Amino acid sequence: MLKNYFKIAIAVLKRRKFFTFISLFGISLTLTILMVATALVDKMFNPGYPDYNQNRSLYVERIEIKNSKEGWVNMSNLSFYFFEHYVSKLKTVYKMAISSGQKSSNAYVNNKKLVIDYKYTNADYWNVLAYKFLEGKAYGDKEIKSADRVTVITKKTKEAYFGDEKSVVGQYISADNINYRVIGVVDDVSGSARNFTGGMYLPYSLSKDSQETGLMGQYNAVLLARTESDVSKMKNEFAQMMKKVPIPPDFDSIYCNADEFKTSVTRRMAGNSTSNGVAKVITLGSIFVLLFLLLPTINLVNINITRIMERSSEIGVRKAFGASSKTLVYQFIVENLILTFIGGIIGIFLSILVIYLINESDYVPNFNLSMNLTVLFLSLLNCVLFGLISGVYPAWRMSKLNIVKALKA
Amino acid sequence: MIRLQNIEKVYRTETVETLAINSISLDIARGEFLSIMGPSGCGKSTLLNIMGLLDEPSKGNIKIDNQDISSFSDKKLANFRNQKLGFIFQSYHLINDLQVLDNVELPLLYRTSSPKERKALATEALEKVGLSNRLKHFPTQLSGGQRQRVAIARAIVGKPQIILADEPTGNLDSAMGNEIMEILMNLNKNEGTTIVMVTHDESMAQKTHRLVRLFDGSQVQ
Ligand SMILES: Nc1ncnc2c1ncn2[C@@H]1O[C@H](COP(=O)(O)OP(=O)(O)O)[C@@H](O)[C@H]1O
Ligand SMILES: [Mg+2]
């Protein structure tokens, strides 16, 4: 039976090449966009290297200071002082990786300008995050205390600045006219891991603002708990601590959150200091996906109705010779599933191509999107849903067709 | 075999009401070859469709093989048609996307049979109509007479007890028409199939056992 459905489905697809093309185009394009989008979202929420301790970590990125009478709001990253003076005293914080946002510096290689992004970190940064050292090692408390001009650079920076040289530890790199001694080379971090990516890492003691005592600054931190179960305690302790942080003059409230990784992403995308944005992101995401699926589905339903009505003589004959309405609905749904599956397979190949092109283009450095199995599975599920949704209504309508009318048409 | 009692069929549109069949009662015996004649629009097709359970009468009662089908569900009705009835239409109604063999196998798809059985039965039916060398052709590659023979093969492949043919020779020249008539007469004689045929051709009607004439929805002979 299935083989017969297949035969007629393929024959119809071949006969109506234009319809087939439009349908397949719609299905495969929609699926491609969905798959690439899920791969992007997946990457955003699971960035991987070098942050493998997400389950044991909380992320502190932003502080908000308000004067509710005047309606003033100041929002920024935090000061090094804040982390050192308040957060490092928390008992549940096992280790803390503090780092500044990225800044650009200029270097010159053979009279050509080279832009290197750099950031300041503390010593524990290298213990919390699992950077892969290709040579040398990280700086420690000793280098930080004496404010040594040392640096850990990434492989890309090394290649851009030193060319093919095998080992560069001990050599000097000059950025913004300051010479730093290279003490380690690490693998590059994807640009999507925005708090960890960079080209050059420097001891925070070299930065001018590490001595300032305000709350606002350019730093963020990853707080690592001893165990996963300590994370919620750490969150509590952090919140308690925030109540005791003195509010700067002229203001009446301060907000700062230590969030789990995923929450930190949604807060950044859709939340603010008092709402974590999870519900908003989920709602908007679902609405987007629904709308996005709805348009091609309606389109397919329309195409399907036209296609099926063209075959009213066939429907009449099948019914006359003993097909029940149910059997016919089944046949047309199977035909539609075959169509959507072909579209799905094309879509999967297109997605692989698009993801490959995105990774190659280097638009976001070291992005490395991947089609993971979850994405693939969800996409296939999409196909089935697509086939059912866009096939059921036309099939049902056509099965209700009066035989005599169907044969006359 | 077929018993119609006081069948009436009214077509209602927004503006007009057409009485297509006006109280017809008819008894058709097992093995009978009956022809229906009458001017265009007098209700021949409507009557045949009602006998074939393709359309419901507005009033009246139908019994086929002593079964009252008025209470049948869609599924049961479909199954009943599949087992008992075979149809031949004036415009063939073959599925152009399918090869001759697949067209003929169609009624067997809706009962339990293996692909092998289906193929054997369809080949046998096509042999009976003299088309065993056209199995892999598509309908559009055949002449009108050949297409109608494929349609006959499809109607007989499930070995139904009744064949309903609506102007089966209407689109054919007289030589081809005679061939088709020959096949139907043999079917009736050799297999005992009950046949009801609508026709415009007086000479063909004369070859059947009984002739029913309609005029304006009523039986006049
Ligand atoms: N679906 C319909 N709606 C309205 N009137 C119809 C319909 N089908 C047939 N009729 C009318 O019923 C009458 C009988 O039609 P039909 O049985 O096709 O005649 P015949 O087959 O004898 O030419 C005609 O007057 C025709 O116009
Ligand atoms: Mg007619």
Task: Say if residue B99's pLDDT is above 90.
Answer: yes
Q: Domain boundary residue among A244, A272, A300?
A: A272
Query: Phi and psi of B41, rounded to 5°?
Result: 85, 10
pLDDT tens-digit profile of B173-221? 988 899 999 999 999 999 999 999 999 999 999 999 999 999 998 988 7
Query: Cα of A106 to ligand 2 centre, how many Å?
Result: 89
Domain count, chain A: 2
Query: Token pair of B178, please?
Result: 């005679």
Contact A188, A154 (CB under 8 A): yes
A98-114 average pLDDT score: 92
- Residues A233, A285, single domain; the answer is no
Beta bridge partners of A110: none
Which one-letter amino acid corresponds to residue B114? Answer: S
Atom of ligand 1 nearest to the CA of B13: 4
Which one-letter amino acid corresponds to residue B79? Answer: N
- Residues A89, A13, single domain; the answer is no
Task: Tell me whether residue A274 is exposed, middle or buried, using C-beta atoms within 10 angstroms of its C-beta: 0 to 12, 13 to 18, 19 or more.
Answer: exposed
- Residues A143, A228, single domain; the answer is yes
Ligand 1 contact via B45 beta carbon (within 6 Å):
yes
Ligand 1 contact via B9 beta carbon (within 6 Å):
no
CB interface of B with A, residues 23-42, below 8 Å: none
Are A11 and B106 within 8 A, CB to CB?
A: no
- Residues A171, A107, single domain; the answer is yes
Q: Range with the lowest mean pLDDT among A161-165, A318-322, A341-345, B81-85?
A: A341-345
What is the Cα–Cα distance from B110 to A299, expressed in whole angstroms? 32
User: What is the signed CA dihedral for A259, A262, A263, A267, rounded to 10 degrees?
Assistant: 110
Task: Say if residue A274's pLDDT is above 90.
Answer: no
- Residues A111, A250, single domain; the answer is yes
Write down the pLDDT at residue A365.
65
Write down the pLDDT at residue A366.
67
Q: Range with the lowest mean pLDDT among A41-55, A234-248, A289-303, A332-346?
A: A289-303
Q: What domain range includes position A305? A: 2-47+279-408
Helices assigned H by DSSP within B74-163: 74-84, 100-109, 115-128, 144-156
Q: Which of A402, A404, A407 to mutate to test the pocket of ligand 1 (most atoms within 8 A of CB)?
A: A404
User: What is the signed CA dihedral for A240, A241, A246, A252, rounded to 10 degrees?
Assistant: -40
**Residues in chain B closer than 8 A to A321 (CB atoms):** 81-82, 86-87, 106-107, 110, 154, 158
Write down the pLDDT at residue B49.
95
- Residues A258, A404, single domain; the answer is no
Q: Range with the lowest mean pLDDT among A86-95, A135-144, A322-331?
A: A322-331
Atom of ligand 1 nearest to the CA of A404: 1
pLDDT tens-digit profile of A372-394? 677 678 777 877 877 787 788 88
Residue B166 makes CB contacts below 8 A (sequence gap 6+) with B44, B45, B48, B87, B88, B89, B90, B198
A221-244 burial by CB neighbour count: b if 16+ within 10 A, else e? bbbbbeeeebbeebbebbeeebee
What is the Cα–Cα distance from A300 to A310, expressed in whole angstroms? 15
Which residues on chain A place their C-beta less than 8 Å from a C-beta of chain B?
1, 3-4, 7-8, 11-12, 15, 313-314, 316-327, 402-404, 407
Most trustworthy range by pLDDT among A22-31, A70-79, A297-306:
A70-79
- For residue A222, the surrounding DSSP H or E stretch is strand A219-225
- Residues A208, A308, single domain; the answer is no
Q: CB of B97 within 8 Å of any CB in chain A?
A: yes
Q: How many CB pairs under 8 A join A and B?
A: 75
A18-40 average pLDDT score: 84
- Residues A381, A252, single domain; the answer is no
- Residues A76, A223, single domain; the answer is yes
Residue A209's alpha-carbon distances to A44, A148, A175, A206, in angstroms, are 30, 16, 19, 9
- Residues A120, A220, single domain; the answer is yes
